[in-house]
């Protein structure tokens, strides 16, 4: 890790406050998006990180400081200027790239990723606007996404949390469900609720739902919306159609983060229908600004037997595919 020390000239407290943002929010955003650490005392700065990324962060800070004398920054302005730099930084990742450790503060303490894939997943969510977490049950895809969403909400990086899930039964027909829209969708979003309760507590979740800070949105009701300053989680994305996935991905507005989670081995769509998640992995892989984290059986953090069950099904599927192609 390289440290770069530099001074922003001329010394100007108002310009410096504009650059840093309220409670250094702009500096923290740059840290998360570029994967660096920024420390400063007045206009004397130190940036720590990989050599090329640290140099990019220094150039960005100098540019922002120059502009801070004539323009008042908000988070939207910082997001816009971060776009190309963040995408370039993301493109430096590789199989042996060790991501910056991301610690998430939640009600029960500080949460960190277990294993390389979870750490890469957390870092990807912190540094990308659209993120895919694909893998078997029990690997923490949804739980970690909710943790990052709650942290963003607590730090005021977003104004609301939107939970989305396609209403597709897992091989069962439940018929018509009673109640209003939220009550009808509740059974499908129970895993997200469970994670929220653990992060925030039942009472606070209820208050935030009442204030519409946390919003429950069926996937079918997302069309036509533009989501600004929001953290959006699409769970069970393997059960989306190609059209639904495209519609969801194009809802993203300024200052928003989207996390799409799913397990391609548990698709509940009709046999002839291709999963929107599988299609998105094929179409968007390699697109700058979009991250993919692929979990494996070794990443399962539930009962040890779950990992063995996942391995057994994967072995059976691999054997069936070989038999079919023979």
Q: What is the pLDDT of residues 45-80, one digit of tens each?
A: 999 988 888 899 999 999 999 999 888 888 778 877
Residue 8 pLDDT grade (very low, low, confident, very high; cuts 50, 70, 90): very high
Grouping H, G, I as helix, E, B as strand and the rest as coil, residue 59 is: helix
Clarify whether residues 182 and 129 are in a common domain: yes
Domain count, the chain: 2
Sheet of 44-49: strand order equals 2-7, 44-49, 37-41
170 located within any domain: yes
- Residue 99 domain flag: no
Q: What is the DSSP letter of 271?
A: T
Q: What is the DSSP string of 281-297?
A: HHHHTT-TTEEEEE--G
Can you give the residue range of the structural domain that contains 58? Answer: 2-90
Asked if 129 and 289 count as a contact pair (C-beta separation under 8 A), the reply is yes
- 78 and 121 fall within a common domain: no
Return the residue matching tokens 């979990």. 295
Among 140, 59, 143, 154, which residue's Cα sits nearest to residue 105? Answer: 154
Helix, strand, coil shares of the chain, percent, nearest 5, are 50, 15, 35
Is residue 7 assigned to a domain? yes
Which residues, including other chains, have CB under 8 Å from residue 51's CB and lie 6 or more apart? 2
Q: What is the average pLDDT score of the chain?
A: 83
Residue among 171, 166, 134, 173 at smallest CA distance from 270: 171
pLDDT digits (tens, 9 = 90+) for 93-150: 444 445 566 777 766 667 778 778 898 999 899 888 999 999 988 888 989 999 999 9
């Amino acid at each position: 890790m390289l440290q770069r020390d530099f001074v922003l000239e001329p010394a100007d407290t108002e310009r410096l406050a504009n650059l840093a943002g309220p409670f250094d929010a702009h500096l923290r955003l740059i840290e998360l998006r570029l994967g660096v650490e920024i420390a400063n005392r007045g206009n004397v700065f130190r940036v720590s990180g990989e050599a090329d990324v640290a140099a990019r962060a220094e150039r960005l800070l100098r540019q922002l400081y120059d502009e801070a004398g004539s323009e008042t920054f908000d988070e939207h302005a910082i997001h816009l200027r971060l776009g190309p730099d963040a995408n370039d930084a993301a493109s430096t990742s590789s199989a042996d790239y060790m991501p910056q450790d991301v610690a998430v503060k939640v009600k029960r303490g500080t949460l960190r990723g277990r294993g390389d894939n979870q750490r890469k997943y957390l870092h990807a969510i912190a540094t990308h606007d659209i993120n895919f977490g694909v893998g078997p049950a029990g690997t923490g895809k949804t739980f970690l996404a909710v943790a990052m969403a709650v942290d963003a909400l607590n730090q005021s990086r977003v104004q609301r949390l939107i939970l989305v899930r396609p209403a597709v039964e897992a091989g069962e027909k439940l018929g018509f469900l009673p109640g209003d829209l939220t009550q009808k969708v509740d059974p499908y979003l129970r895993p997200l609720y469970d994670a929220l309760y653990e992060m925030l507590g039942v009472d606070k979740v209820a208050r935030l739902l009442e204030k519409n800070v946390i919003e429950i949105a069926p996937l079918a009701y997302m069309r036509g919306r533009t989501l600004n300053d929001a953290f959006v989680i699409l769970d069970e994305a393997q059960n989306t159609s190609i059209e639904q996935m495209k519609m969801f991905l194009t809802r993203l507005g300024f200052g928003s983060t989207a996390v799409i989670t799913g397990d391609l081995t548990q698709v509940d769509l009709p046999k002839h229908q291709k999963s929107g998640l599988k299609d998105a992995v094929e179409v968007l892989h390699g697109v700058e600004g979009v991250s993919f984290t692929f979990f494996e059986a070794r990443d399962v953090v539930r009962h040890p037997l779950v990992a063995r069950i996942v391995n057994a099904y994967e072995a059976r599927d691999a054997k069936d595919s070989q038999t079919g192609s023979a």
